[in-house]
Amino acid sequence: MKFKIAYSSNIINNNLLYLEDEHSFYMNYGNAKIDLELLINNIALQVSNNRIIALSGFCGLKDKMSSVLTVPTSSKGILSVNHNLKYGFAYSINENDEYKYPVSADLEKGWVCIGNSEKKGNAVEFIDNCIAVISDEDDFISLWLKPMRLPKL
């Protein structure tokens, strides 16, 4: 699968929450038809008509994940995926289904990074306070999430 970015002001306005009692991210995607999900660790990116429209999933944050992060400079836009996957299933974005991306959190800035926080690429804010960094080869580098509130670690 390959990710595509189309920069525009047409992003999804949605509130990203971190549910502390469930150790998970959550956002309501309403009545949207979800075709499939793409997994980054235990975070599911919901895909509708090849566009990533929402995300949710478990991400237990621990003190050892605390870090000082430099949030990538991004522009607003649409994040879509080119794939030949069957609808109705969830797929890891890594070819090795057992691979776990590193997770780091900057509590002062309120951001969580899943993936390589230092590698540069093309950054798109595809949902309010949700940034994906994609390589020039259209591969996933990192997912940056800023929920309305993070727990104290």
Span 144-150, average pLDDT: 95
Tokens of 91: 């797929």
Q: 149 and 100 in contact (C-beta within 8 Å)?
A: no
Express each pLDDT in 41-88 by its tens digit. 999 999 999 999 999 999 999 888 889 999 999 999 999 999 999 999
Express each pLDDT in 84-119 by its tens digit. 999 999 999 988 878 899 999 999 999 999 999 999
Q: For residues 19 and 1, what is the distance between their CA atoms, to the nearest angstrom?
A: 30
Model pTM score? 0.94
Sorted by where each begins, the domain ranges of the chain are: 2-145
Instruction: Give SS3 for 122.
Output: strand
Q: For residues 137 and 140, what is the distance between their CA atoms, to the nearest angstrom?
A: 9
